[in-house]
């Protein structure tokens, strides 16, 4: 048992169930929320690598994950993000905001961006208050994670972004 998983047998049973879906439906594009909860220990990162390598239509988002980055080896996490940058989407796990919540949320976003973009230690993640070493990801990796992957896999998103006045290159 650990901080990340109170019931490891149930956790891995769900991961194996996900893999069965991927096996049975190879054309189905799946974006697993929260990194499929495979960012909390190095063995999970290894399984995430295996899923990425084995199933080309499998993606994850990063919602609610950065508070766990300090539980894994820094180089291992960073290498997964770089090697599979075309399979990772930025996410926060936050839906609608009330107007009075905007300043607090902007601080949370800024911390999440700093964790991905800088090499500095960041005090606090999107949801937690732990100190996390920034991953210092390259610009091309950040662009894929922040928007290019989403524009590639979500039908119509590219056109919608352009209709809103954004100048984006999805390639």
CA 143 to chain centre: 13
Hey, how many other C-beta atoms are within 10 angstroms of the C-beta on 11?
16
State the pLDDT confidence band at 123, using cuts at 50, 70 and 90.
confident
Which residue reads 């922040």 in tokens? 146
pLDDT for 1: 36
Dihedral of alpha carbons 119, 123, 125, 126, sign: negative
Contact, 107 vs 119, CB < 8 A? Answer: no
pLDDT tens by residue, 65-106: 988 999 999 999 999 999 999 999 998 877 666 666 776 778
Give the model's pLDDT for residue 171. Answer: 64
Single pTM value for the model: 0.88
- Whether 116 has a pLDDT exceeding 70, the answer reads yes
């Amino acid at each position: 048992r650990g901080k990340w998983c109170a019931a490891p047998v149930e956790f891995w049973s769900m991961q194996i169930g996900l893999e069965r879906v991927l096996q049975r439906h190879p054309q189905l594009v799946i974006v697993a929320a929260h990194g499929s909860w495979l960012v909390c220990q190095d063995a999970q990162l290894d399984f995430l690598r295996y899923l990425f390598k084995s199933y080309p239509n499998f993606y994850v988002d990063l919602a609610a994950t950065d508070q766990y980055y300090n539980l894994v080896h820094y180089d291992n996490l960073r290498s997964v993000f770089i090697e599979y940058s075309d399979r990772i989407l930025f996410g926060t796990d936050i839906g609608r905001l009330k107007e009075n919540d905007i300043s607090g949320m902007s601080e949370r976003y800024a911390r999440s961006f700093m964790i991905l973009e800088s090499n500095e230690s960041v005090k606090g993640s999107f949801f937690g208050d732990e100190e996390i070493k920034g991953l210092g990801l390259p610009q091309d990796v950040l662009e894929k994670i922040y928007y290019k992957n989403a524009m590639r896999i979500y039908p119509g998103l590219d056109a919608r972004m352009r209709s809103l006045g954004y100048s984006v290159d999805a390639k």
